[in-house]
Every structure is written in structure tokens, then in C-alpha cells.
Chain A
């Protein structure tokens, strides 16, 4: 089964049909997908800027992460859930150009970077409470995260421009 077949099956499902034909639900899902970026993307940018030493320098990274993590996870949950609903509604049209597959690839890079960061620094209490200085590896992870999530947002906005069927 190819990726195109999976997207076609999603589009042909009752959920996909209902979403694609809905006058109100589809725009609301798209609106929530966009505005939930304030929680997901906005807060991750803040953490990334802290890792790079630009924002909120007086608070250790671990404390910022502990205080914002539930909100970030909630934001990402809303962004991903609405993103999957949009995939149901739009189906294989999303695969018509390289933009959406590239977006998925960059999300994968961002997610792997986040997993690596958690694995490397998630239990390093000295680092998290600020007893150790900012590690170069953590700053690199912040830069990768900032770049990749920004790229994801840009690619998301480009999707309708590169496929005239929207």
C-alpha cells in the first residue's frame, strides 16, 4: 500500500468526507491548527531562544521546560490532532507536490532532535537547574529546533500555493 493509497483511504473515509463537505467544521479545524501554534510553536521558540541564551537568561532551562512543558504538549497535541483531521479532509491532494512530504520530513527531524535532547539532558539535573553552564550540544539542539519548526510553519503555509486544487 503506497502513501497515496493511505491518503486516498483517509479521504474516502466517512470522517474525510464529512470534514471535506462541512461548511463550518473544516474552517474551524484549520483555524485551531493555525492558532494552536501560539502554544506549540510559540512556546518551543521561547525554549529554543533560552537554549541559545537569548530569552529569559535568568531562569535555568530545566525550570522553563518544567513550567511550560504541559502547555507545549497540549499545544502540540492540538496542532497534530487538527493536522491529522486536515489530512483526512484533503487526502492525496497533499501529495501532489513535494511541499507536504517535505513538511513531514522536517517534522521528523524536529521530533528526533527533541527526543535526542530529552535523552541527553532530560535527566541531567545539574544542567537543568543551571548548576552547569549551557552546553554547546544543547545550544545546537536549540538552533536545530528553532530552524526546523520555523521551516515547518513556512512549508505549511506554502502548501496551498503549490497546489491549485485547494
Chain B
């Protein structure tokens, strides 16, 4: 099964048709949840990255901030995933060939992998290489912003 066939099947599913026929209010609500989710991911991640870089909320340790950020990032991901599905599946075959959508879904797993694979480790006080920690934190923030920019570009490239 090719990805286009998969997206076509998803778009033809009962739930996708139901989402597609939902009143405009639900589409607007989905966009607002998507934006809220992006902010819930980006702002706490920025605060942790800034703290690793030695600035921002310096009264907390990077590890403390990272722990506090988890609930916000997880909530943001929940918002982003469910609102994203709501927006995606009624028009899945329009999204599939869109290069910005493809880029977003290349960058997203990398951002998630670095976030959940490295952030807690580099935020620990005993992490030896401070410069490497700062570089990883910066790269992770840039990756999340790139995911956001790719997501925003979807609408422009589809137009």
C-alpha cells in the first residue's frame, strides 16, 4: 500500500467524512487548539533551553525546570496531535503530496526524539560537557521552530 493509497483510505473513512462535514466552529476550534499546543510545547522548551544556556529562570536548576516543563509539553503534544488529526484527515490526499507537510513529518520525529531522548539528560547538573548541552538545547529549539514553520508553510504551498 502506497502512502497515497493510505491517505486516500483515511480520507474516505467515516470519521474523516464526519470531521469534514463538521460545522466551521470545530475547524476554528481545532486551529486554536493547534496554536495553543504549539505554544505549550515551545515556551517551556525555550525556558529549559535558556536555563541550560545560563539565562532565563536561573532560580531553578535546568533539571527542575525540565521536570516542570514535562506536563506542559505533554499537554501541548496532546492538543497538537488531536487537532492536527482533525484538520488532516478530511483532506488527507491534499496534504500527502505537499512538500511542507512532508518536511514537517520528517522534522517532527527528530524533534521528538531529541526532546525525549536528550533534554532530561543534558539538563542534569552532572552532565559534564556544558557546551555540548547548550548546542543540543539550541538545536532542539531550532528544530521545534522549524516544525512550526513547516506547518505554517503547508497552507501556502497548498494554495
Contacts and interface: CB of A to CB of B under 8 A. Distances in A.
B35 interface: yes
Contacts of B58: 67
Contact of B152 (A31, A153, A158): A31
A45 B57 CA distance: 15
B17 to A, nearest CB: 22
A8 to B, nearest CB: 24
A31 B56 contact: no
A83 to B, nearest CB: 15
B38 interface: yes
A100 interface: no
Interface stretch (B8-16, B39-47, B119-127): B39-47
B85 interface: no
B50 interface: yes
B57 A42 contact: no
Given A56-B57, A59-B59, A67-B58, A42 B153 contact: no
A157 B32 contact: yes
Nearest to B68: A56
Contact of A38 (B42, B56, B149): B42
Q: How big is the A interface, by class?
A: 20 to 34
Contact of A161 (B24, B38, B152, B153): B24
Nearest to B31: A157
Contact of A35 (B32, B42, B47, B68): B42
B24 A38 contact: no
A140 interface: no
A71 B50 contact: yes
Interface string A51-72: 0000010110001100110010
A37 B153 contact: no
A41 interface: yes
Contacts of B50: 71
A34 B46 contact: no
B152 A67 contact: no
B145 interface: yes
A41 B39 contact: yes
B59 A42 contact: no
A59 B56 CA distance: 13
A42 B59 CA distance: 19
Given A35-B42, A56-B68, A157-B28, 7 more contacts: A27-B153, A30-B152, A31-B149, A45-B39, A45-B43, A56-B60, A67-B55
- List 3 A-B pairs, minimum CB-CB distance, nearest first: A42-B43, A38-B42, A31-B152
